[in-house]
Amino acid sequence: MVRAEGVHKSFGLAHVLKGIDLEVNPREVFCLIGPSGSGKSTFLRCINHLEKISAGRLYVDGSLVGYRQSGDKLYELKEREVAAQRRDIGMVFQRFNLFPHMTALENVTEAPIQVKGETKAVARERARQLLDRVGLSDKVDQYPAQLSGGQQQRVAIARALAMEPKLMLFDEPTSALDPELVGEVLDVMRDLAEDGMTMIVVTHEMGFAREVGDSLVFMDDGVVVESGHPREVLANPQHDRTKSFLSKVL
């Protein structure tokens, strides 16, 4: 589903990603862990072209992200084409980023109506189902400011699902939440994983990674240090860097 080959990313002089190679299979829950500043969020943002990669190749579902290859030349995609690529990739942000001037329902219906051209009635009907699925059928007409952090994040997940994505990206979805609200968001994500959604999750929730994850990558300083099955990596880390990180967070 996602293939990265030697992906580099620099912001000016800061070299954030230094050659990432990895592969995410369909229906897989792929967890990215690592200390802050290790580049895991940047990598996630590269996958839907919120950041442009500086070198290497990044494929989603077989096609290059943000570029078109013709012969040995790369052409930048037009804005409209980039937008079309992003339709199939849902993203959930650390800080929710719900649209504050729209109700929960309007947040969910916005993209299907504006991007896919769905009718209001159809979009609303599906949005109700999605909000019901994340356990918020009674909050449909509330504005984000009237919802708790956990509820907002669940609306954000429903909003991303409304575009029927093939792949979901989660950028530390529970890091901005009160500890007691983390569970409700993780439950929704677990549900999603059981339904067979391909998910890439940047997280600090080692419990979630262990229970739900199919593979896990530990990143540090812009490189993949260690990868494998979550249970093995978490129980028996091979590298010193992984060991010292896990000893602090577990």
Partner 1 sequence: MTDTVDKAPAPVPPEQIKAIPVRHYGRWVAGAVVIGILVLIGIAFSNAKINYNIIPDYLTDDLILDGVWHTLYISVLSMLLGLVLGVILAVMRMSSNPVTSTVAWLYIWFFRGTPVLVQLLLWYNIALVFPILNLGFYKDEMNQVMTPFLAALLGLGLNEAAYMSEIVRAGIQSVDLGQTEASHALGMTQGKTLRRVVLPQAMRVIVPPSGNEFINMLKTSSLAYAVQFNELIKRAQDVSSTSLAVVEMYFVASIWYLILTSVFSVGQYYLERRYARGSSRDLPPTPLQRLRKNLRLFGSFSRPEVPR
Chain contacts with partner 1 (rule: CB under 8 A) = 48, 50, 79-80, 83-84, 86-87, 89-91, 93, 95, 97-103, 110-111, 114-115, 143-146, 156, 159-160, 163
1 vs 246, beta carbon nearer partner 1: 1
Shortest reach from residue 67's CB to partner 1, in Å? 17
113 vs 223, beta carbon nearer partner 1: 113
144 vs 213, beta carbon nearer partner 1: 144
Shortest reach from residue 163's CB to partner 1, in Å? 6
92 vs 225, beta carbon nearer partner 1: 92
Shortest reach from residue 104's CB to partner 1, in Å? 11
Shortest reach from residue 115's CB to partner 1, in Å? 5
Q: By the 8 A CB rule, do 212 and 199 touch?
A: no
Shortest reach from residue 213's CB to partner 1, in Å? 23
22 vs 160, beta carbon nearer partner 1: 160
